[in-house]
Amino acid sequence: MTTVERLFDGPLDIVGDVHGQLDALRDLVGQLNYAPDGSHPDGRKLVFVGDLVDRGPDSPGVVERVMNMVNAGNAQCILGNHELNIVRDSRKLDNHWFFNECTSSENEQPTLSVQQKEIIRCFFKELPLALERDDLRIIHACWHRESIALLERRSDVSSDIGNEYRRFRSEADRDLKSSGVFERYRKEQELFGEYVRYGHNDPGEHWQQPRLLEGYAAVNEARQMGNPIAVLTSGQERAATKTYPAGGKFRFVDRVAWWNNYRDEQAVIIGHYWRLYNFEIVKRPRASGIDVFEGTKPDQWLGPRKNVYCVDFSVGGRGKDFSSDVCRLAAVRWPEATVMFDNGAEMATDYVDHS
């Protein structure tokens, strides 16, 4: 596995989480004036922040398209938590397109052959976790210096990212077991496990009054923060003060707005955190824990140096959680620091270049 790879030189267009929305991807790269193979008349390059797949109507189509651009040397792509799930064989509600567990008729997708699956899995396994050059860093969820240092110290190119993930997970569990909190978690699991994971059922039927399970909260936080691959691909988390349902289970940890503690000079571009294009006209659906963007507008860079930008404009929620008015696929143009959307709208941002 590769932790940090060298980012392309020259002008870039950094594309947010695509989540199987092939039409939006076609529209966006067209708006940015790229040819279908990812080449650009001005020599610009595309970069994908991960989460190419799940949720949308054509995950295999998106992977094929991006893979071809990467193989042609016109694009780079990093690993998101959704690719990681596939690499480590972890079945989730939204990845039945890969594992062939089609449980809802609304999202029928063609069945993949064994060979097609192997091509996709091999592509994902080789993706780096981060890209970097002098003026810019790109990572799916969280630039976390300690996790990057740990991975660079412990892993080499020959190690398999799925195995590394499992190794960190079992080390975190070993530490937990000696702390006593694990026993509490086990008891909660016995009593409430089936309610915590409600899957496709409406959680309301199962749990009228969600309660915080402190053993779950402590174990989930320790497993996340003790695993550097998890931190980089799905962010820092801490035990929540109230529980909420998401993705077929109740959550007991909150996302941390890590950028508020990011003080390095290099700008960072991330995806992962659902940002809304026109957030003022909609309320966030469901009770989704902490809103890490509370009080910020879509054109704002984040953190004390105002040099972190999230380019995920929630296209993955199109037709499901939100209307397409607010669900957009976006790209940050660099070094211009403007944002292009799949509908052709271009937005200036408040980025100030201090270099």
CB 322 within 8 A of CB 282: yes
Which one, 218 or 270, has the nearer CB to Mn ion?
Answer: 270
244's tokens: 């909420």
Q: To the nearest 5 percent, what fractions of the chain are helix, strand and coil?
A: 35, 20, 45
Q: Which residues pair with 46 in a beta bridge?
A: 13, 75
In the block, tokens 């799930």 appear at 85
Near Mn ion by CB under 5 A, which window of 74-82, 88-96, 101-109, 190-198?
Answer: 74-82
Question: Can you tell me the distance from the alpha carbon of 232 to that of 130, in angstroms, rounded to the nearest whole number?
Answer: 8
* 81 is a contact residue toward Mn ion (CB under 5 A): yes
Smallest distance, Å, CB 240 to Mn ion? 19
* 254 is a contact residue toward Mn ion (CB under 5 A): no
58's tokens: 């054509």
In the block, tokens 């989460």 appear at 51
Near Mn ion by CB under 5 A, which window of 65-73, 75-83, 148-156, 262-270?
Answer: 75-83
In the block, tokens 């054109």 appear at 299
69's tokens: 């651009």
223's tokens: 């497993």
Smallest distance, Å, CB 86 to Mn ion? 13
* 54 is a contact residue toward Mn ion (CB under 5 A): no
Which one, 44 or 251, has the nearer CB to Mn ion?
Answer: 251
Start-to-end CA distance of the chain, whole Å, equals 32
CA atoms within 13 A on the CB side of 4: 20
Of 51, 132, 164, 342, the one binding Mn ion by CB under 5 A: 51
Which one, 18 or 218, has the nearer CB to Mn ion?
Answer: 18
Which residue number is nearest to Mn ion in terms of Cβ? Answer: 272
Smallest distance, Å, CB 19 to Mn ion? 9
Run of H or E including 234? helix 228-234
* 307 is a contact residue toward Mn ion (CB under 5 A): no
Question: Can you tell me the distance from the alpha carbon of 184 to that of 149, in angstroms, rounded to the nearest whole number?
Answer: 32
Near Mn ion by CB under 5 A, which window of 3-11, 38-46, 201-209, 264-272?
Answer: 264-272
* 83 is a contact residue toward Mn ion (CB under 5 A): no
Which one, 11 or 248, has the nearer CB to Mn ion?
Answer: 248
Near Mn ion by CB under 5 A, which window of 43-51, 173-181, 293-301, 337-345?
Answer: 43-51
Which one, 51 or 254, has the nearer CB to Mn ion?
Answer: 51
Which one, 255 or 272, has the nearer CB to Mn ion?
Answer: 272
Smallest distance, Å, CB 318 to Mn ion? 16
Phi, psi for residue 139 in degrees, rounded to 5: -150, 155
Which one, 86 or 213, has the nearer CB to Mn ion?
Answer: 86
Run of H or E including 347? strand 346-348
Smallest distance, Å, CB 193 to Mn ion? 25
Q: Which residues pair with 12 in a beta bridge?
A: 45, 334
Smallest distance, Å, CB 130 to Mn ion? 14
Query: How many of the chain's residues bind Mn ion (CB under 5 A)?
Result: 4
Smallest distance, Å, CB 141 to Mn ion? 6
**Which residues from 267-286 bind Mn ion, rule CB under 5 A?**
272
Which one, 66 or 176, has the nearer CB to Mn ion?
Answer: 66
Near Mn ion by CB under 5 A, which window of 45-53, 87-95, 113-121, 275-283?
Answer: 45-53
Question: Can you tell me the distance from the alpha carbon of 306 to that of 304, in angstroms, rounded to the nearest whole number?
Answer: 6
CB 76 within 8 A of CB 8: yes
Which one, 13 or 54, has the nearer CB to Mn ion?
Answer: 54
Question: Can you tell me the distance from the alpha carbon of 182 to that of 173, in angstroms, rounded to the nearest whole number?
Answer: 8
Binding-site ranges for Mn ion (CB under 5 A): 51, 80-81, 272
